[in-house]
Structure 1
Amino acid sequence: MSLFKFGDLEAEIDFTDVDFLENLDEAKRLMQEEAKQIPKTGKTADIIRAQCQCYFNFFDRVIGEGAHEAMFLGKTSLNSCLDATDALLAFENSEAVKMNERYSEYTVKQHGNRQRKRNYNKQQGKKTNQNFNAVRNR
């Protein structure tokens, strides 16, 4: 769990928590549905306000009710919304890198490709896949 900061908001976010990830996926889905409802024509201010409301709803769903108020300090700016989205994405990517580094020692390490293994086995005089070769030569 790490601390995400934007504006006056400081929130603990854990990208390894299954409940949080499910909530994040649902928030993304709902945001896409809401974005389809944004008017395509009309006053620019109304269109931007509707776009910002999609982002406000997204952050409130992901981080918690009222999160957008602390993040955007009462402003309705599309640039701020995009900056916050970029910050959350960068935070998610940095957490993924940390997690991969932490758990890399637990993964199975591959030792070369198949051709290198065959050449090594030939040099060592090992025969591999004898059953496969016997079936193939019939």
Structure 2
Amino acid sequence: MIINNVELEDLDILDLEIAEKWEKSLEGMEGIGDKVKDMKVSESIRYQCNAIFDIFNTLFGEGTDKKVFGNKVNLLTCLKAFEELVLQTNTKNNEVEKLYNKYAPNRAQRRTKK
């Protein structure tokens, strides 16, 4: 998986342990806009970037934030990297959904057979 032009190990979001870490990480991002709305701009940047750094360190191991972001704390860079992570993770979920749909009975077809 490539994030911010840095290659990281592929994240197997369908592994239970990884899925639990992922869900816990996303919970930390919930309501972040409300948490930072009354902060100074610099405080808001630090808070949001640290939350994203924590996600990368939780999922890929301690120090991953430095590997992906270096020593810069730039909100736009952090948000784009987080978006890349989410998009690549959702791709795996979409694959599973396609498999489910392939074998799930079609309700409309069942109704017409009755």
The aligned residue for residue 72 of structure 1 is 69
User: Quick one: distance in 2 between partners of 1:87 and 1:47?
Assistant: 21
**Structure 1 ranges of 4+ moved more than 6 A:** 33-36
The structural deviation recorded for 1:80 is 1.0
- The unaligned stretches of length 5 or more in structure 2 are none
Q: From the superposition, tell whether residues 64 and 36 of structure 1 become closer, same or farther in structure 2 (CA, over 3 Å).
A: farther
Equivalence map 1:1-138=2 (5 Å): 4-7=1-4, 8-32=6-30, 38=36, 40-42=38-40, 44-102=41-99, 107-110=103-106, 112-114=109-111, 116-118=112-114
Change (3 A) 1:108 1:49: closer
- In the alignment of these two chains, the number of paired residues is 112
Following superposition, the deviation at residue 20 of structure 1 comes to: 0.4
Matched-pair identity in %? 21
The alpha-carbon distance between structure 1 residues 88 and 94, as it changes in their structure 2 partners (threshold 3 A), is same
Which stretches in structure 1 are left out of the alignment for 5+ residues? 119-138
Report the residue type matching 1:50 in the other structure: Y
Instruction: Judge conservation of contact 1:35–1:54 (CA < 8 Å) in 2.
Output: no
For the pair shown, the structure with the greater C-alpha radius of gyration is 1
Q: CA RMSD in A?
A: 2.6
Higher-helix-fraction structure: 2
Greater displacement, 47-56 / 32-41: 32-41
Contact 2:3-2:81 within 8 A present in 1 as well = yes
